[in-house]
């Protein structure tokens, strides 16, 4: 729903668009500000500059003419200045509307403006501290889950020794007790408040929550189902869309990461039981189909086990997301990486309900990967070679009649 007002000068327009769990303010033709339902700033566009803000108070920026650089994080002082400028802009607009400077006033307009004006940098920092007490942080999600409601029955990564990954090195793996998880669930719902309706799926974190034993997972899924409305697992896509439309605070299902090698392997019957409790999609970090490259990445998985895991999930009626790292292994492994990854992805028969994510490999200075690559004189692929490798992987894929969705996965652009 959008409300439009006109000011005293030509072109002086203001519109407020209300969405489930969010609202947007548009001023004139090129200023747009986005907020969650509580008024937290989440994005802005001012013609030649775009800003995105995460709940941990990270602010990233992209400018016109710098597409190659992508989204860049801003230092805290600059981020605070932007947040304060947005709050002041909303306060000025709120005053102008309440004083009658805009024609066609609507009673629905002042409350969102007033909420947005209250979120200056001081309040945003305090809110981020509250968020980090709840989550520590949310370092990564699949691209289609950036707007999920994250719940953390576990923290960290059970394995946490891959050479390329630095996401969880700052914390040990830990599983919450049932009572602690229920408190966490209540606190997360309270934190999001009026912004909860913006989140339409659930994601169990951190890195591999589904490696927990079934005796732990079943109560976790039950607690989620008791606290939040989750779409029934047997709905067709069309029925699921109708269900979500009829349940504005409902969720399409439960999603999670899973690795191939941690914990006891679960059967199709066990995954089917979780599906009946709401499990919708599992995202697996395959990374490569090349066994030597997986060994270099220090991923102790057998390619055959990855294939069997995807097939097991499919037999259980659970859709799958498969992550492949484009550029991993540099020039040393490039040819085998393409050839063998294509063979594995083709072998698992991804379908219309599945995703294939092509993740652009980023070498982190000081990581185990960087040290090993330097010691073995492995040259990193440049941007053109990375693009060519992604094209080569795409060209080799052979899917059933209904192909999965294939998308690029850029971790550097993620904010939650």
> Residues 73-83: pLDDT tens digits?
999 999 999 99
CATH of region 137-413, choose from 3.40.50.300, 1.20.58.1030, 3.90.1410.10, 3.80.30.20: 3.80.30.20
pLDDT digits (tens, 9 = 90+) for 181-215: 999 999 999 999 999 999 999 999 999 999 999 99
Yes or no: say if 294 and 303 are a contact pair by the CB < 8 Å rule: yes
What is the arithmetic mean of pLDDT over 370-394? 96
- Write down the pLDDT at residue 169: 87
Residue 69 contacts by C-beta under 8 Å, 6 or more apart in sequence? 62
Residues of the chain with CATH 3.80.30.20: 137-413
Q: What angle do CA 196, 253, 263 make, to 5 degrees?
A: 115
Nearest Cα to Cα of residue 210 among 338, 125, 309: 309
Give me the residues paired with residue 264 across strands: none
3: left (phi over 0), alpha (psi -120 to 50) or beta: beta
Give me the residues paired with residue 385 across strands: none
Yes or no: say if 150 and 224 are a contact pair by the CB < 8 Å rule: no
Residue 194 contacts by C-beta under 8 Å, 6 or more apart in sequence? 21, 36, 37, 38
Lowest mean pLDDT among 2-11, 119-128, 156-165, 219-228: 2-11
Q: Name the pTM for this structure.
A: 0.94
What is the arithmetic mean of pLDDT over 367-373? 95
- Write down the pLDDT at residue 264: 79
pLDDT digits (tens, 9 = 90+) for 305-334: 999 999 999 999 999 999 999 999 999 999
Residue 261 contacts by C-beta under 8 Å, 6 or more apart in sequence? 159, 299, 300, 301, 305
What is the arithmetic mean of pLDDT over 247-270? 92
Distance CA 416, CA 155 (A): 16
| pLDDT band with cut points at 50, 70 and 90 for residue 170 | confident
Strand ranges, E, within 110-152: 149-151
Give me the residues paired with residue 16 across strands: 3, 25
Supply the DSSP string of 278-324, one letter for each residue. TEEEEEEEEE-S-HHHHHHTT----HHHHHHHHHHHHHTT-EEEEEE
Lowest mean pLDDT among 161-170, 197-206, 340-349: 161-170
What is the arithmetic mean of pLDDT over 250-277? 94
Residue 207 contacts by C-beta under 8 Å, 6 or more apart in sequence? 154, 156, 157, 158, 159, 160, 167, 168, 257, 259
What is the arithmetic mean of pLDDT over 272-281? 97
pLDDT at 68 over 60: no
Buried b / exposed e over 390-413, threshold 16 CB at 10 Å, is bebbeeeeebeeeebebeebeeeb
- Write down the pLDDT at residue 108: 63
What is the arithmetic mean of pLDDT over 145-157? 96
pLDDT digits (tens, 9 = 90+) for 100-129: 888 776 666 778 999 999 999 999 999 999
Lowest mean pLDDT among 86-95, 304-313, 315-324, 398-407: 398-407
Q: What angle do CA 206, 207, 209 make, to 5 degrees?
A: 70
Nearest Cα to Cα of residue 151 among 113, 106, 183, 194: 183
In the sheet that holds 355-360, the strands lie side by side as 149-151, 202-204, 254-258, 279-287, 319-326, 355-360, 405-409
Distance CA 66, CA 119 (A): 29
- Write down the pLDDT at residue 66: 65
């Amino acid at each position: 729903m959008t409300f439009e007002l006109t000011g005293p000068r030509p072109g002086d327009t203001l519109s407020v668009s209300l969405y489930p769990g969010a609202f947007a303010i548009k001023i004139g033709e090129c200023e747009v500000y986005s907020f969650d339902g509580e008024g937290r700033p989440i994005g802005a566009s001012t013609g030649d500059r775009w800003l995105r803000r995460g709940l941990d108070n990270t602010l990233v920026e992209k400018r016109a003419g710098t597409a190659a650089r992508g989204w860049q994080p801003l230092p805290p002082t600059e981020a605070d200045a932007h947040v304060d400028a947005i709050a002041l802009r909303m306060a000025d607009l709120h005053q102008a509307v309440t004083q009658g400077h805009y024609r066609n006033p609507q009673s629905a307009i002042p409350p969102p403006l007033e909420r947005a004006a209250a979120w200056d940098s001081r309040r945003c920092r305090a809110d981020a501290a509250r968020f980090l007490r709840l989550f520590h942080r949310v370092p990564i999600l699949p691209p289609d889950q950036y707007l999920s409601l994250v719940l953390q029955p576990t923290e960290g990564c059970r394995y946490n020794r891959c050479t390329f990954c630095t996401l969880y090195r700052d914390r040990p793996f830990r599983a919450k007790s049932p009572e602690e998880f229920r408190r966490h669930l209540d606190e997360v719902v309270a934190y999001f408040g009026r912004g909860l309706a913006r989140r339409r799926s659930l994601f169990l974190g951190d890195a591999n929550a589904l490696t927990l034993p079934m005796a732990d997972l079943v109560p976790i899924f039950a607690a989620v189902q008791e606290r939040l409305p989750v779409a029934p697992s047997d709905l067709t896509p069309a029925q699921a869309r109708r269900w979500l439309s009829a349940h504005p605070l409902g969720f399409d299902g439960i999603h999670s990461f899973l690795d191939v090698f941690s914990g006891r392997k679960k059967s199709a019957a066990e995954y089917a039981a979780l599906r009946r409790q709401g499990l919708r999609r599992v995202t697996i970090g395959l990374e490569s189909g090349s066994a030597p490259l997986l060994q270099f990445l220090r991923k102790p998985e057998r390619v055959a086990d990855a294939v069997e895991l995807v097939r097991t999930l499919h037999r259980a009626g659970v859709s799958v997301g498969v992550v492949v790292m484009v550029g991993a292994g540099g020039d040393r492994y490039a040819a085998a990486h393409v050839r063998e990854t294509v063979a594995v992805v083709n072998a698992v028969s991804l379908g219309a309900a599945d995703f294939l994510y092509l993740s652009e490999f980023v070498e982190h200075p000081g990581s185990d990967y960087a040290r090993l690559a330097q010691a073995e004189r492995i040259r990193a692929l440049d941007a053109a070679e990375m693009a060519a490798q992604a094209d080569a992987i795409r060209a080799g894929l052979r899917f059933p009649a209904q192909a999965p969705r294939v998308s690029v996965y850029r971790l550097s652009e993620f904010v939650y």
